[in-house]
A = this chain, B = another copy of it.
């Protein structure tokens, strides 16, 4: 018998991956959590039926969420990751020696637990002494924070289920308040082929709150359309004006300093979503 996991990424399109075995399946307090071993992508974390991360391609998302804002900020010391319970963004954040403390606020402790168990090379750095892990509501954590962080990264699921309020103008206003005067934030904002309206809406909302708003992309094979977007809101520093000296050597598989800049050169139909 062959088992295939199929994610319907839209009502009429999806991806399908051959499954060796199911490692864990559970209805947590917040979502359906499945961890499966696939033949093509290794272990795969699936939340509410949607691929979150896989061993083979996780580096793209995690590197591109972390390094673009962290190289943009001249001296990031205090970093917050909202969501991201698999620990991949945290792992990348710690590659920046300026970072003294990285706080992870993940609403679902089970994501952390099973990522540590089945995705150890992603989640391993959650034990690092520079990291503080809080199992808590990211929206509430933001609401309570003021003038605290240099960089905030929103590594959420789609705007359905537990992450719905992480795609609201109120949340972006809270993030602005939680950031220091020259703070910068980034959020994953889905794909332009099937979710163009979402990208337009978020971009316009963030633009109302932050002096500088920019969109960039990366290729993630297991995400819908393979083209993912990230929206940056920045109080001061421009990701397109990073000085050469700011870049230091870090080990990456996707990010390069040339790609940092190139990722902001958008396909025409994506550029149009930011107008």
Q: Which A residues are closer than 8 A to B by beta carbons? A: 6, 10-18, 38-41, 56-57, 60, 193, 217, 219-221, 224-227, 252-256, 258-259, 261-269, 271
Contacts and interface: CB of A to CB of B under 8 A. Distances in A.
Q: Say how many copies of this protein the assembly contains.
A: 2
7 A-B pairs with the lowest CB-CB distances in the bound complex, closest first: A226-B226, A262-B265, A12-B39, A12-B18, A262-B262, A13-B40, A221-B225
Contacts of A267: 60, 219, 253-256, 259
Nearest to A267: B254
21 contacts: A11-B40, A12-B18, A13-B15, A13-B16, A13-B17, A13-B41, A14-B16, A15-B15, A56-B193, A217-B219, A219-B267, A220-B226, A226-B226, A226-B227, A253-B267, A254-B267, A254-B269, A255-B268, A256-B267, A258-B265, A261-B265
Contacts of A256: 265-268, 271
Contact of A15 (B16, B264, B265): B16
A103 to B, nearest CB: 28
A13 B6 contact: no
**Which one of A12, A14, A264, A271 has the greatest number of beta carbons of chain B within 10 Å?**
A12
B265 A253 contact: no
A192 to B, nearest CB: 9
Contacts of A39: 11-13
B268 A252 contact: yes
Contacts of A219: 217, 219, 225-227, 267
A10 B268 contact: no
B18 A11 contact: yes
B271 A266 contact: no
A96 to B, nearest CB: 17
Contacts of A258: 265
Contacts of A15: 13-16
A16 B16 contact: yes
Nearest to A56: B193
Nearest to A57: B193
Nearest to A224: B221
Contact of A18 (B13, B18, B220, B253): B13
